[in-house]
Amino acid sequence: MRCLILAGGLGTRLGKLTKNTPKPLITVAGKPVIEHIIDRLNLHGIYEIIINTHYLATQINEKLETRALYYHVNQLLGHKGTIFALKPWLEDEDFYVVNGDTLTNLSYTEMTLIHRPKTITAFMDSEWRCGGTWIYSKEIFREELSVIPYRPHAEFFDTGTLEKLEKARKYYESEAH
């Protein structure tokens, strides 16, 4: 299965941390967030990855080198706009979309197994908050799809604000993960 990582945002809520560093390269437990994401995808057999980049994109390309393909945009397209812009790369099979600022201990293998054709499977926690991970059926390019919540026993950490980043760092720097 393929994966699109959305990593183009400006990271303005992180203030000076993202003045010269793109948000996906902010470190947690000594490693950039986006590397944690790719390592976890790889752990579950997902190696075909494309990263949507915009802000300070060359830093992401230089850091990750050949670990992914890159889709640079001069103007942000949003979640759905990026998916549709990448239709030629995504349309042949169901695919993951992952926020480039969200860490998780989710089992992508289990999520793939419960995903059903002609749906969008959305990772959500017990409070019905979206965990920044979806599986889209390839039919998204031809028809409207129902969103099916997937609520496993898994943690996720949005690192998009200073407070949330600090929570992620505490979790990942502990023995808990």
| DSSP secondary structure, 68-119, as one string | SEEEE-SS--HHHHHHHHTHHHHTTS-EEEEETTEEE---HHHHHHH--TTE
Is the pLDDT at 175 greater than 90? The verdict is: no
Query: CA-CA distance, 50 to 68, in Å (whole number)?
Result: 5
pTM of the model: 0.95
Q: What is the pLDDT of residues 84-111, one digit of tens each?
A: 999 999 999 999 999 999 999 999 999 9
Query: CA-CA distance, 177 to 160, in Å (whole number)?
Result: 20
- Can you give the pLDDT at residue 126? 87
Is the pLDDT at 176 greater than 90? The verdict is: no
Mean pLDDT across 42-49: 98
